[in-house]
């Protein structure tokens, strides 16, 4: 059906099972952007990714990335200007503790300043403890064994860092994410070898998954021992697997379920849940034909309904409120997607599916769009996820507003999808 008017859009919405009259989201819904410190601020010289870059494993080095370390106030103004009420950020552990047991007071104050600046702008901080990075000294454990997440020492150090972070920042931060996409980090870092530490070793991969399970559980306990009212989760990478091009996506990926099951305390002697909400990142659907492309290309197969299905799957499995910790579309300056998907259409269609799940009773705390500005995409600046884009050739790294920022602003300020947005984008890729 051609969508010409708001009424058309509403009836299409109903036809798709999205109640048209209820495209508003509940009051207090968290509208945010998701960011990560290394991707915003770049190489600090002391993290595992600094070493990975130095060893020459990346096409492009991060440098100062988007210069986020100095420009956080300006960036938070952009988030506030769009009418957002939340801000997902990460702490750079290696800046805080560049050498084992040696803490940098300037870095500690810096993250206080960022959190304070977010709160002053009405943005609730959602703080990730480790977003793919950790201090390089963890690659050289005292035991002399394999380092990084292969080492059980890293689990202990991470628990201690979580405890320290809760004591330091916990009076200001309610929402925590211990580990960003541990299933993704294990896969890319220890099995496929494209992220630090660049290993391709199935044994290391399974050891690392096990350590991530332990690390989340330990960090959860550490944070809750300081602030029992804190809301703690981790955010696995979730994708839908499509059986055949047209068929409904069928299953969740097994390692993500194993980690969530472990965090829920399934299979433990006494039920011990270590999740206060289920956070997850959702970007696309896979099928047997596109698996390799997804790893090497940015034209990810867009499947908005997968967000609805994932919400249903996760809520009915875990019965906890959900948070979308990441969702977004990369564009590239020199390339238009062959299927035409734009960032605005992507966001509107995913939010329509999210609203559909909520209308059917799935509780969702918030939606963190990836990302506020273009940033360092782990080896390259080519994919551009930012609502504000940055021309890498411009030495001033000026943030340039994109059309998707207007779209997201309209959504956040109206607490939902406006008739104009539905009319323009619902069921369409651009
Ligand atoms: C990661 C981000 C990354 C984004 C887009 C997620 O896997 O958490 O660090 O930039 O996806 O690729």
**pLDDT surpasses 70 at 62:** yes
- Model confidence at 338, in pLDDT bands (50, 70, 90)? confident
Bridge partners of residue 24, in order along the sequence: 416
**pLDDT surpasses 50 at 15:** no
pLDDT value of position 20: 47
- Which residue has a Cα nearest atom 12 of ligand 1? 377
Mean pLDDT of 294-310: 84
- Does ligand 1 come within 6 angstroms of the Cβ of 181? yes
User: What is the H or E stretch that residue 359 is in?
Assistant: helix 343-359
d(CA 400, CA 394): 11
pLDDT value of position 254: 58
pLDDT value of position 72: 98
pLDDT value of position 240: 79
Greater model confidence, 235 or 17: 235
Going from the Cα of 376 to the center of ligand 1, the distance in angstroms, rounded, reads 10
Positive or negative torsion for Cα 226, 229, 231, 234: positive
d(CA 239, CA 291): 11
Greater model confidence, 300 or 234: 234
Condensed to tens digits (0 to 9), the pLDDT of residues 249-263 reads: 444 555 567 888 888
Greater model confidence, 219 or 244: 219
State the DSSP string of 168-235. Answer: HHTTT--EEEEEE-HHHHHIIIIIS-SSTT----HHHHHHHHHHHHHHHHHHHHHHHHH-TT-EEEEE
Q: With contact defined as beta carbons under 8 Å apart, do 264 and 318 qualify? A: yes
Greater model confidence, 9 or 192: 192
d(CA 422, CA 348): 7
Could you tell me the two tokens for 88? 């997902």
Chain mean pLDDT for the chain: 90
pLDDT value of position 3: 37
User: Relative to the CA of 375, which ligand 1 atom is closest?
Assistant: 10
d(CA 72, CA 50): 21
Greater model confidence, 290 or 220: 220
**pLDDT surpasses 60 at 281:** yes
- Model confidence at 264, in pLDDT bands (50, 70, 90)? confident
d(CA 58, CA 48): 13
**pLDDT surpasses 50 at 19:** no
- Model confidence at 8, in pLDDT bands (50, 70, 90)? very low
Residue 370 backbone dihedrals phi, psi, to 5 degrees: -95, 110
pLDDT value of position 111: 99
pLDDT value of position 269: 65
Please work out, in degrees rounded to the nearest 5, the angle formed at the alpha carbon of residue 97 by the alpha carbons of 93 and 103: 135
Tally of CB atoms within 10 A around 25: 22
Tally of CB atoms within 10 A around 331: 21
Greater model confidence, 340 or 250: 340
Give Cα 320 distance to the centre of its chain: 19
User: What is the H or E stretch that residue 33 is in?
Assistant: strand 30-34
What's the farthest any 2 CA atoms get from each other in the chain? 67
Condensed to tens digits (0 to 9), the pLDDT of residues 113-124 reads: 999 999 999 999
- Does ligand 1 come within 6 angstroms of the Cβ of 326? yes
pLDDT value of position 16: 45
Going from the Cα of 296 to the center of ligand 1, the distance in angstroms, rounded, reads 14
pLDDT value of position 255: 59
Contacts of 162 (CB under 8 A, 6+ apart): 129, 178, 218, 219, 220, 222, 223
d(CA 223, CA 136): 24
Residue 338: Cβ-neighbour burial (10 angstroms; 0-12, 13-18, 19+)? exposed
- Model confidence at 268, in pLDDT bands (50, 70, 90)? confident
What are the residue boundaries of the structural domains of the chain, listed by start? 6-425
Residue of 280, 326, 386 with the most ligand 1 atoms within 8 Å of its CB, for mutation: 326
Could you tell me the two tokens for 403? 């059309």
Name the CATH superfamily, with its identifier, for domain 6-425: Glycosidases (3.20.20.80)
Rounded alpha-carbon distances, angstroms, from residue 137 to 39, 134, 144: 20, 8, 12
pLDDT value of position 93: 98
Condensed to tens digits (0 to 9), the pLDDT of residues 67-113 reads: 999 999 999 999 999 999 999 999 999 999 999 999 999 999 999 99
Greater model confidence, 302 or 8: 302
**pLDDT surpasses 70 at 13:** no
Condensed to tens digits (0 to 9), the pLDDT of residues 123-167 reads: 999 999 999 999 999 999 998 989 999 999 999 999 999 999 999
**Prediction pTM value:** 0.93
Going from the Cα of 3 to the center of ligand 1, the distance in angstroms, rounded, reads 33
Condensed to tens digits (0 to 9), the pLDDT of residues 411-424 reads: 999 999 999 999 99
- Does ligand 1 come within 6 angstroms of the Cβ of 377? yes
113, 181, 301, 389 alpha-carbon torsion, rounded to 10°: 20
d(CA 213, CA 108): 27
């Amino acid at each position: 059906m051609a969508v010409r008017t708001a009424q058309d859009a509403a009836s299409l919405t109903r036809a798709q099972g999205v109640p048209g009259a209820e495209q508003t989201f509940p009051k207090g819904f968290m509208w945010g952007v998701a960011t990560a410190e290394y991707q915003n601020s770049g190489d600090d010289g002391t993290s595992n990714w600094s070493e990975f870059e130095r060893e020459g494993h990346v096409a492009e080095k991060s440098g100062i990335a988007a210069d986020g370390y100095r420009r956080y106030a300006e960036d938070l103004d952009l988030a506030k200007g769009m009418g957002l009420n939340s801000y997902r950020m990460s702490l750079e552990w290696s800046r805080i503790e560049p050498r084992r047991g040696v803490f940098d007071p300037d870095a500690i104050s810096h993250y206080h300043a960022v959190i304070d600046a977010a709160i002053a702008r009405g943005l609730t901080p959602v703080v990730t403890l480790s977003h793919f990075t950790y201090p390089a000294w963890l690659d050289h454990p005292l035991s002399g064994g394999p380092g990084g997440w292969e080492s059980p020492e890293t689990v202990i150090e991470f628990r201690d860092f979580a405890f320290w972070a809760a004591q330091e920042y916990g009076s200001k931060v309610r929402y925590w994410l211990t580990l960003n996409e541990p299933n993704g980090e294990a896969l890319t870092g220890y099995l496929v070898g494209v992220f630090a530490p660049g290993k391709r070793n199935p044994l290391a991969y399974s050891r690392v998954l096990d350590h991530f399970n332990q690390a989340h559980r330990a960090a959860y306990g550490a944070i809750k021992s300081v602030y029992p009212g804190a809301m703690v989760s981790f955010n696995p990478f979730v994708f839908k697997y499509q059986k055949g091009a047209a068929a409904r996506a069928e299953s969740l990926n097994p390692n993500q379920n194993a980690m969530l099951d472990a965090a829920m305390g399934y299979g433990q002697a006494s039920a011990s849940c270590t999740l206060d909400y289920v956070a997850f990142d959702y970007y696309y659907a896979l099928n047997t034909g596109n698996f390799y492309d997804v790893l090497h290309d940015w034209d990810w197969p867009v499947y908005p309904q997968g967000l609805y299905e994932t919400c249903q799957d996760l809520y009915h499995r875990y019965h906890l409120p959900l948070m979308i910790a990441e969702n977004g579309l990369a564009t590239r300056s020199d390339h238009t997607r062959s299927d035409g998907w734009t960032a605005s259409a992507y966001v509107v269609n995913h939010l329509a599916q999210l609203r559909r799940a909520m209308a059917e009773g799935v509780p969702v705390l918030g939606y963190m769009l990836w990302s506020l500005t273009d940033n360092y995409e782990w080896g390259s600046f080519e994919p551009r996820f930012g609502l504000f884009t940055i021309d890498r050739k411009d030495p001033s790294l000026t943030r340039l507003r994109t059309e998707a920022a207007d779209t997201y602003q309209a959504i956040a300020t109206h607490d939902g999808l406006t008739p104009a947005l539905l009319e323009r984008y619902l069921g369409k890729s651009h």
